[in-house]
Structure 1
Amino acid sequence: MNQTAQKLDTAYDPERAQAFADRIAQLINDGAVAVMISLGHRAGLFEALASLPPSDSHTIARRAGLAERYVREWLAALVTGGIVDYDPATRRYALPGEHGACLTRDAPLGNLAVYAQHVALMGQVQDHILERFRSGDGTRYEDYPCFHHMMAEDSGQTVVAQLFEQILPLVPGLRERLERGIAVLDAGCGRGEALIALARHFPESRFTGYDLCSDAIEDAARAARDAGLDNLSFGVRDLTDFDEQARYDLVTSFDAVHDQKAPADLIRRLHRSLRSQGTYLMQDIGGSAQLENNLDFPMAAFLYAISCVHCTPVSLGQGGEGLGTMWGWETAEAMLMDAGFDRVTRHVLPHDPMNVWFVSHKG
């Protein structure tokens, strides 16, 4: 026995070591299930299962328009992963209603399968990120396949679906002002789903969306044209040099500030872009800046992992600070106050425990 093995042999409790090994094995197994959940979400398999009584693999494959042999193997992974029920006597599979409640589109508890896509994405970019670990360099948004599609799905359920009932009421009198007609900017608008919903609902107001990524803006502009909206425009814009002064009555950003090159500078620029009595509505990740405060935060490990492979390197790739996804609500609140906002209030909404919503007013 070499010295290292001998040291290990005497340096740990065998029972605790075995318990931890069992946990690691379970984590690896669960990671594989997460990738299968991502695949099933994108293939429409959860919707197919939810629309059928207990069925065999051929029926499920036909409903989803997919090849049966692949569907059968996918079902086996989901059965052994505890997601799908299986009756060996009839060889039929079923998605329990309680499971479909968080795995189907428009699910009442929110579609958690959307986030499983990020697990699959992390595997796709692993080699790319490993190179950055060695070099210290950053990445670009375009290094992440389908990222804007995933973020659009996330925004659809955390922002757009709750926009009129929960989010706009955070700002007293905002709905009435939008009905009368004001100028609105969405900074870091992605595919623009929130702005499109607002432009449809408030035809007297004027809406502008800026984002760094040209593919996202192309999708947003196409959707606006298809909807026949003439009170809405989108543009590709690096917000690093954003300098529009006293132009908007409302500025929004949804999960867009923490991975900017210089978040504090951007917030100051957004403050300058507001007219007197204007409002900045900002959604961002609601974790703390202090690691020890996040031990019980919802999906904290997932958020730190996303930060490691996306938000931190994207910021570094722009020459930024690399604050990361878990930059902390304390950091965001301090930046808003330092930017000159007169009143800053913080909210956590029942449907969205991972995010914090700041309402900031300019005097």
Structure 2
Amino acid sequence: MTTAAATPRPVDTDKLHQLLHQAVVDMGAAMQSTLILIGDRLGLYRAMGDCAPVSAAELARRTGTDERYIREWLNANAAGKYIEYDAPSDTYSMTPEQSFALAQDDTAVHLPGFYHMLASCMKDEEKLTDIFRTGKGFGWHEHEKGLFEGCERFFRPSYLANLTTSWIPALEGVEEKLKTGARVADIGCGHGASTLLMAKTYPKSEFFGFDYHDKSIEQASEKAKSAGCSDRVHFDVAPAKSFPGKDYDFVACFDCLHDMGDPTGAAAHVKQSLANNGTWMIVEPIAGDDITSNLNPIGRIYYAASTIVCVPASRSQEVGLGLGAQAGEKRIRQVVTEGGFTHFRRASETPFNMVFEARA
């Protein structure tokens, strides 16, 4: 039996031009991403962070780089609106806002970390393409190492801006316990940015950071030593379903529950590790409960990251549920309550994250 060929749909030239305009903007952003990474590695943004006008020659002298390459780099950044160009003086500068986002560490917004993550994912492209064919997973530990540093640098600003100022205070009774002295477990702690920030803010409490990735734990331990708090901040290699310890007053998971192969199993283990009246804080990427509500610029980033990092990480583990970074509150609630928790609520949120409170 044969069927008639589908009648070709006519091309709407206005819609085509809109698509091409979007594509040109995206192409420019994609090409510039390499330059942002180079600028961060060479300290070019930091050298302009005082916002004073500088020539290409002067910036090259400051940073020990080649003037011709620096001029081209500057022009690309000026075209992308990441720096400013003054034609009469032939100089370049940064606005305070550009400096805040690109040239300074430990601000509430720090963009370069994202580009380290992006570069790492691009280096893994061939391997990631293959798992689309095979359906296999691709573990967090299998990624190029830039992902781990970039992830810490990208997420740390949000923790600096929100963790101890709004997220923890939004939880019932938790901050009081931390101030007087509590046992705290940070699951999936990575390089320990969240753990160390809490430890600095609540010096009477003791902190235990766990991650299955041994290289990240090595970095976290070194950071604890450098911060002078290794006597009460401990980092160990352990998966979410079997981290050691009991009677934790507070357990936290930052942007990692959806990466786990068996998040329900992890929830059950968290429940049995908590002390009476203990609290579990779950920080997850902001998301609605249906696809349509996530089809926006932030959802675009999170769906892409989920495809490249989160779902492959989950599918590389036991169960391999593959929640994804846009699971939404309803799905997260289901996972947590199936793990044995009876109390679950959204305690806080930002444009990028949802913060949930769970208790037994």
TM-score by length of 1: 0.88
Describe the superposition over 1:215-250 as per-residue Cα deviations: whole angstroms up to 9, x where unpaired: 110011112223332112111112244475x42111
* Mapping for residues 223-302 of structure 1, pairs under 5 Å: 223-229=223-229, 230-242=231-243, 244=245, 246-296=246-296, 298-302=297-301
1:182 corresponds in structure 2 to 182
Q: How many angstroms apart in 2 are the aligned matches of 1:87 and 1:331?
A: 51
- Alignment CA distance shift 1:78-1:177 (3 Å): same
Q: How many angstroms apart in 1 are the aligned matches of 2:303 and 2:82?
A: 25
The one-letter amino acid paired with 1:199 is: A
Q: How many angstroms apart in 2 are the aligned matches of 1:163 and 1:52?
A: 30
The one-letter amino acid paired with 1:359 is: E
What displacement does 1:199 show?
2.7
Query: Could you say what secondary structure the match of 1:258 adopts?
Result: helix
**Contact (CA 8 Å) 1:139, 1:316: kept in 2 or not?**
yes
2:351 corresponds in structure 1 to 353
- Percent of aligned pairs sharing the same letter: 27
- Alignment CA distance shift 1:106-1:14 (3 Å): same
**Contact (CA 8 Å) 1:183, 1:205: kept in 2 or not?**
yes
Q: How many angstroms apart in 1 are the aligned matches of 2:357 and 2:103?
A: 32
**Contact (CA 8 Å) 1:285, 1:329: kept in 2 or not?**
no
What displacement does 1:177 show?
1.5
Describe the superposition over 1:246-284 as per-residue Cα deviations: whole angstroms up to 9, x where unpaired: 421110111111101111111121111111100011111
**Contact (CA 8 Å) 1:35, 1:119: kept in 2 or not?**
no
**Contact (CA 8 Å) 1:160, 1:193: kept in 2 or not?**
no
1:3 corresponds in structure 2 to none
**Contact (CA 8 Å) 1:118, 1:306: kept in 2 or not?**
no
Q: How many angstroms apart in 2 are the aligned matches of 1:261 and 1:160?
A: 28
Q: How many angstroms apart in 2 are the aligned matches of 1:65 and 1:48?
A: 11
Superposition RMSD in Å:
2.4
2:125 corresponds in structure 1 to 126
* Mapping for residues 89-108 of structure 1, pairs under 5 Å: 89-106=88-105
The one-letter amino acid paired with 2:160 is: V
Q: How many angstroms apart in 2 are the aligned matches of 1:130 and 1:247?
A: 43
Q: How many angstroms apart in 1 are the aligned matches of 2:29 and 2:200?
A: 41
- Alignment CA distance shift 1:321-1:90 (3 Å): same
Of the structure 1 ranges 107-116 and 166-175, higher mean CA displacement relative to structure 2 is found in: 107-116
Structure 2 unaligned spans of 5+: 1-5
The one-letter amino acid paired with 2:358 is: S
The one-letter amino acid paired with 1:34 is: S
Structure 1 unaligned spans of 5+: 1-5
Query: Could you say what secondary structure the match of 1:50 adopts?
Result: coil
The one-letter amino acid paired with 1:361 is: R
Of the structure 1 ranges 77-86 and 101-110, higher mean CA displacement relative to structure 2 is found in: 101-110
**Contact (CA 8 Å) 2:110, 2:153: kept in 1 or not?**
no
Q: How many angstroms apart in 2 are the aligned matches of 1:161 and 1:18?
A: 40
Q: How many angstroms apart in 1 are the aligned matches of 2:225 and 2:72?
A: 42
Q: How many angstroms apart in 2 are the aligned matches of 1:15 and 1:197?
A: 51
What displacement does 1:32 show?
1.3
2:115 corresponds in structure 1 to 116
What displacement does 1:313 show?
0.9
Query: Could you say what secondary structure the match of 1:307 adopts?
Result: helix
**Contact (CA 8 Å) 1:210, 1:236: kept in 2 or not?**
yes
What displacement does 1:87 show?
2.7
Q: How many angstroms apart in 1 are the aligned matches of 2:342 and 2:14?
A: 57
Q: How many angstroms apart in 1 are the aligned matches of 2:118 and 2:300?
A: 12
Describe the superposition over 1:161-194 as per-residue Cα deviations: whole angstroms up to 9, x where unpaired: 4332222211243233123222111111111122
1:56 aligns with 2:55: yes
1:313 corresponds in structure 2 to 312
Query: Could you say what secondary structure the match of 1:102 adopts?
Result: helix
**Contact (CA 8 Å) 2:345, 2:358: kept in 1 or not?**
yes
Q: How many angstroms apart in 1 are the aligned matches of 2:104 and 2:234?
A: 28
Q: How many angstroms apart in 2 are the aligned matches of 1:204 and 1:92?
A: 51
Q: How many angstroms apart in 2 are the aligned matches of 1:354 and 1:126?
A: 26
- Alignment CA distance shift 1:20-1:304 (3 Å): same
Q: How many angstroms apart in 2 are the aligned matches of 1:345 and 1:241?
A: 25
What displacement does 1:108 show?
6.2
- Alignment CA distance shift 1:197-1:19 (3 Å): closer
Query: Could you say what secondary structure the match of 2:204 adopts?
Result: coil
- Alignment CA distance shift 1:24-1:278 (3 Å): same
* Mapping for residues 321-360 of structure 1, pairs under 5 Å: 321-349=321-349, 352-360=350-358
TM-score by length of 2: 0.89
2:25 corresponds in structure 1 to 26
